[in-house]
Amino acid sequence: MYLDHAATTPMRPEAAEAMAPYLAERFGNPSGLHGVSQAAKNALEGAREAAAELLGGTRPLEIVFTGGGSESDNLAVKGAALANGARRGVVTAAVEHEAVLASAEFVSAMGCPVSVVGVSPDGVVDPDEVAAAVDGDTAVVSVMAANNETGVIQPVRKIVEQVKAVSPDVPVHTDAVQMFVTEDVSIDQLGVDMITLSGHKFGGPQGVGLLWVRDGVKLEPAIHGGGQELGRRSGTHNVAGIVGMAAAMEAAARTRQSVRDVVRDVRDDFEARLTAAHPDAVVTASGEERLVQHSHFRIPGVLAETLLVLLDQAGLAAAAGSACHSGAIEVSHVLAAMGMDQRDAQECVRFSFGWTTAPGDGRKAADLVGAAVGSLR
């Protein structure tokens, strides 16, 4: 049973089918002028149009294809802070993905002022605190739509409103990588100026993503070279990956409500059975709005690493911390920012359901967890 969809998802058949020709006979470089290249170019631009439509009917040229969510985050944060040769400020939150926090740390070392806003004990960002950190030197605000570890949904729309009230020209970026599969991710819904998505989080291939950039937002490229993507991201396009991601986006949007209904019921059933069997289990941020596919919890006295090894032996794949720490369990910066002590954090595990989840998986997962915990206790 695979319950680590927040790390990566199985590829949807629609994506694999769409990619197949571009891994074989349609191998052209879309930057060329001859027919082979133009066939690849047409596929690339078709994928761009599809992605733009799925994000709310924005202009296709506002879509920048990248090598994944981390690159998109780097381009949004570094690109805005360093645009036009400037060294301007970044405002972000302590629970952001490492790609955002490391980018902020990088530009800080180059002389850009950086403000990192804290969160509540449940991991929620206060829009007032974000807006208070914005000043005349701020180049970008970056707050994720939903946390990759806890699943907590941030008040992005309210953050945008507060920031724009202070400084209308400051662009707001959101990493919506975890949200797309079960929530509406559109420019109208979120109100932001830049959106990060990653193909492998909703059934597309790994190693491809996008950054939607509202027209007028200036970015210094993170990758320099041949000037592809209107100079915003150089490098030969991964046509097969981009086509596959667009097909996965279409499939995810088409099945979003049905997937949401299934995983919500399965997650809720899983947590209900878990807490009934182990009343001392603590579900993280249970009183906050969370992604329906995430279940993050700890069972006092049971180390996450030990539990995950037993579950893996039983055929259930889950995770501790974020995906970037898989295989090397570290205390999560997200949990530390929430004020959780080290011992409690070492007990936290994350189960993330997804588009392959089936009714009844909650009961099966709860039974396996119960058996593993019973043997440990």
- pLDDT over 80 at 18, yes or no: yes
- Averaged pLDDT for residues 289-301: 97
- We report the CATH number of the domain holding residue 298 as 3.90.1150.10
Q: Which residues contact 368 (CB under 8 A, 6 or more apart)?
A: 1, 311, 314, 315, 316
CB 28 within 8 A of CB 43: no
| Claim to verify: residue 272 and residue 233 sit in the same structural domain | no
In a domain, 296, yes or no: yes
> Which two structure tokens, joined as six digits, stand for 187?
């420019």
Give the pairing of strands 194-198 and 209-213. antiparallel
CB 269 within 8 A of CB 363: yes
Percent with pLDDT over 90 in the chain = 96
Alpha-carbon distance 213 to 79, whole Å? 11
Q: Which of 219, 251, 283 is the last residue of a domain?
A: 251
> Which two structure tokens, joined as six digits, stand for 62?
């506002």
In a domain, 349, yes or no: yes
Alpha-carbon distance 338 to 275, whole Å? 22
- Any idea which residues carry the catalytic annotation? 324
Give the structural domain span for 200: 13-251
Q: What is the mean pLDDT of the chain?
A: 95
| Claim to verify: residue 242 and residue 260 sit in the same structural domain | no
In a domain, 132, yes or no: yes
| Claim to verify: residue 141 and residue 230 sit in the same structural domain | yes
| Claim to verify: residue 219 and residue 262 sit in the same structural domain | no
Phi–psi pair at 313, nearest 5 degrees? -65, -30
pLDDT single digits (tens) 205-227: 999 999 999 999 999 999 999 99
In a domain, 7, yes or no: no
> Which pLDDT score is estimated for 27?
94
How many Cβ atoms from other residues are within 10 Å of residue 35's Cβ? 9
Alpha-carbon distance 161 to 158, whole Å? 5
Block residue for tokens 């724009």: 164
**What is the tally of helices (H) and strands (E) in the chain?**
12, 10
Three-state SS for 153?
Answer: strand
pLDDT single digits (tens) 105-126: 999 999 999 999 999 999 999 9
Confidence bin at 306 (pLDDT 50/70/90) = very high
Percent with pLDDT over 70 in the chain = 98
- Averaged pLDDT for residues 307-327: 81
- Averaged pLDDT for residues 345-362: 96
Confidence bin at 321 (pLDDT 50/70/90) = low
In a domain, 4, yes or no: no
Lateral strand order in the sheet of 294-298: 282-283, 294-298, 348-352
| Claim to verify: residue 238 and residue 286 sit in the same structural domain | no
| Claim to verify: residue 231 and residue 291 sit in the same structural domain | no
| Claim to verify: residue 302 and residue 345 sit in the same structural domain | yes
CB 227 within 8 A of CB 81: no
Q: How many domains does the chain have?
A: 2
Q: Which of 251, 273, 289 is the last residue of a domain?
A: 251
Instruction: Find, among 69, 21, 61, the residue nearest to 45 by Cα.
Output: 61
- The distance from CA 245 to its chain's CA centroid, rounded to whole angstroms, is 14
349 pairs with which residues across the strands? 297
Confidence bin at 322 (pLDDT 50/70/90) = very low
End-to-end CA distance of the chain: 23
In a domain, 126, yes or no: yes
Q: Exposed, middle or buried: residue 23 (CB in 10 Å: 0-12, 13-18, 19+)?
A: middle
- We report the CATH number of the domain holding residue 144 as 3.40.640.10
Instruction: Find, among 110, 73, 113, 71, the residue nearest to 90 by Cα.
Output: 113
- pLDDT over 90 at 41, yes or no: yes
pTM of the model: 0.96
| Claim to verify: residue 219 and residue 289 sit in the same structural domain | no
- Averaged pLDDT for residues 248-270: 97
| Claim to verify: residue 134 and residue 238 sit in the same structural domain | yes
In a domain, 229, yes or no: yes
Phi–psi pair at 356, nearest 5 degrees? -95, -5
Q: Which of 195, 228, 251 is the last residue of a domain?
A: 251
| Claim to verify: residue 207 and residue 280 sit in the same structural domain | no
Three-state SS for 253?
Answer: helix
Confidence bin at 327 (pLDDT 50/70/90) = low
| Claim to verify: residue 47 and residue 170 sit in the same structural domain | yes
Three-state SS for 66?
Answer: strand
In a domain, 5, yes or no: no
> Which pLDDT score is estimated for 323?
46
| Claim to verify: residue 266 and residue 219 sit in the same structural domain | no
Alpha-carbon distance 297 to 308, whole Å? 13
> Which pLDDT score is estimated for 253?
97
